[in-house]
Amino acid sequence: MGRGLGMARARWIVPWADSETKPAIYHCISRVVDRRLAFGSEDKEKFRMFMRMMENFSGCRVLAYCVMCNHFHLLLEVVPRPKGGISDEVLLKRLGALYSKAFVASVAKELAEARAVVAQGLAKEGEGYVQRIHERFTYRMHDLSEFMKTLLQRFTRWHNREHERCGNLWEETFKSVVVEDGLASRTMAAYIDLNPVRAGMVQDPAEYRWSSYGEAMGAVGGSTGARARAGLVRAIGAEKGWDADARHWPGKVSKGYRMLLLQEGQEVSKEEVTADGEVRKKVLRKGMDRATAEEELERLTTARDVAISKMLRWKIRYFTDGAVVGSREFVDGFFEKCRDRFGARRKSGARRMRGKAGGAAGALWSVRDLRKGIE
């Protein structure tokens, strides 16, 4: 589970890590020592390369990302471990993402020898041998900390060698925030893709090539963009059961996501900025016929998205320090499952977002009640 709320560098891990129906999504952030502008174009390309290598090795999914000049953001889904483990073929394929052909061949030889022992009728000894070979590598798969540890270490070694430096590249252990699928993951993905816009580097996030949206909109860095589009599809549609499939991008995702990124709409009242469930309740209470109710639901949902879109032009501390972000029900549910991590005086989990995050008030909640640096 990690350490308690009051202890430094606490890591919040979802208590449903092995669920096949409830995604485990995290917003991860790390900054360069002294926050110096250390990354040029080649560094950013290499970081993306190592990120994709780790994605292929670990079985985790990158839903959204942005590599800036002195920090990065990563929306990562930690996919549950397959029941019964993975096959030898899958293991070797994943090893090929990180290791040389010679190393993978040596592991393949070990596995073949172990399987031969099984074939000789010594099932117990052979299967134990196979299991030990798998476990040398699989403990690093489907795991948030291992993903980030390997990614940061491998990139640091390359960066230090390339720039003739030594020592730690990152100022602290990476931060992570648990993110609910649905509105929260969609908003977090947009917040990540809008980093270069907030920094004044581009006006249109599609113009920044070292981000999920930039990659999705233009084939860059040897990529067709399909992997980035698939990740954003999952970030936006996981709640609806959509898998990471780029084929959904043109018809279901592209237009709506771009509107969230660039929306410039009418002013809306706070009453209209509500969570999905609360929006539906509001519509149903009016006793409308179905067609009118759907029209009103779309209007209210659009109004909420306009407010959130405007909010995303600012740095939102809840998205980096809020620990757990999602609907009120989601945050309260997390609080109940992790009750022992809170003081006896704490009676509920969800805390209303304030300050620059006011556009999401009533729609998104945080488990931390931030009071400084939110304006």
Domain boundaries, the chain: 25-81+146-262+314-361, 88-138
Side chain identity, residue 196: P
pLDDT, tens only, 6-63: 333 468 899 888 888 899 999 999 999 988 899 999 999 999 999 999 999 999 999 9
Listing DSSP states for 315-360 in one string gives --THHHH-SEEE-HHHHHHHHHHTGGGS-TT-----EE--GGGGGG
pLDDT, tens only, 223-279: 789 999 999 999 999 999 999 999 999 987 898 899 889 864 444 444 444 445 455
Among 159, 139, 8, 137, smallest CA distance to 72 is for 159
pLDDT of residue 302: 56
pLDDT of residue 162: 94
Q: In whole numbers, what is the pLDDT of the chain averaged over residues?
A: 85
pLDDT, tens only, 118-135: 777 665 666 788 889 999
pLDDT of residue 267: 41
How large a percentage of the chain has pLDDT more than 70? 82
**Domain 25-81+146-262+314-361 = CATH 3.30.70.1290:** yes
CB 214 within 8 A of CB 194: no
pLDDT of residue 232: 97
Length of the chain: 375
Q: Is the pLDDT of residue 112 over 70?
A: yes
pLDDT of residue 35: 86
When computed from its CA atoms, the radius of gyration of the chain, rounded to whole angstroms, is 22
| E strand or H helix at 176 | strand 175-179
Q: Is the pLDDT of residue 65 over 90?
A: yes
CA distance 374 to 270: 18
SS3 state at 81? coil
**Average pLDDT, stretch 207-218?**
94
**Average pLDDT, stretch 356-372?**
88
More confident site: 362 or 184: 184
11 CB-near residues (< 8 Å, 6+ apart): 2, 3, 145, 176
- pTM to 2 decimal places: 0.86
